[in-house]
Amino acid sequence: MKTMKKLLFVLLLIGCKPVDIKTAPGFLQLKEEGSYAYRATTPERVVVAVRVEDMEGDGSDDLSFWTRALTLQMRDGNGYALLETHDVQSLDGVKGKQLRFGHDEDGKPFSYWLTFFPTGKKLVLVEAGGMKPQFDAAASSVQWMIQSVRVR
């Protein structure tokens, strides 16, 4: 009976957590208070962060809607160059999309990946960015972190 209670408690904890992501070696998780549910950085300021936005209503799990909306926002609104688009899947099987952008800040090229998973009840966004050379060096770690995301 005690074991059952413990298991129930653990499941409850997992259920309350908005998102689950592993921190790759070389990254330091930051204590978050703002709009990010999670944020970690390397010493070279390659940053990975997670946002969780509550969603309700029909269509909130529409992947193509969010792909278009986020592409418009980043390209037309912010002037980011869309370099690649990839289909992705969270560790717990939710389908998502990864938009890979490039953008100059103060004349220097930066990389910015925006990965998102619409579950229907929430939209989980994983942002990753940094100066292009440093980001390229940490890309495999960033990718590993994104692949470790559980959204349910």
Partner 1 sequence: MRFGIAFLGLGLVLLVACGGAAPESAPPTTVTPGGAARGEVAPQDEARFASDVASPPPPRPQRQIDRDSDGTGDAKPPADLKKREVDKTVATNDAAGSGTQSTGTTSTTNNAVAVDSPHDAQMLIYTAHVTMSVYQVSPALDAIEGIARGMGGYLESRNDTQIQIRIPRSRFDEALHKVEASGDVIHRDVSAQDVTDAYFDIEARLKNARAVRDRMQALLEKAAVKEAIDIQKELERVTGEIEVLEGKLKLLSNKIAYSTIEVSFQPRASAAVQLMPRLPFPWLGELGLPKLLNLESR
Chain contacts with partner 1 (rule: CB under 8 A): 30, 32-35, 41, 45, 47, 49, 51, 53, 69-70, 72-83, 101-105, 107, 109-110, 112, 114, 125, 127, 129-130
The amino acid sitting at 85 is: T
Q: How far is the CB of 10 from partner 1 (least distance, A)?
A: 30
Determine the straight-line distance between the first and last CA of the chain, rounded to whole angstroms.
Answer: 27
The amino acid sitting at 93 is: G
Question: Which lies closer to partner 1 via its Cβ, residue 79 or residue 93?
Answer: 79
Distance CA 129, CA 49 (A): 9
Q: How far is the CB of 5 from partner 1 (least distance, A)?
A: 37
SS3 123: strand
SS3 50: strand
Token look-up 């994983």 returns 126
Q: How far is the CB of 21 from partner 1 (least distance, A)?
A: 15
Question: Which lies closer to partner 1 via its Cβ, residue 8 or residue 83?
Answer: 83
Question: Which lies closer to partner 1 via its Cβ, residue 112 or residue 117?
Answer: 112
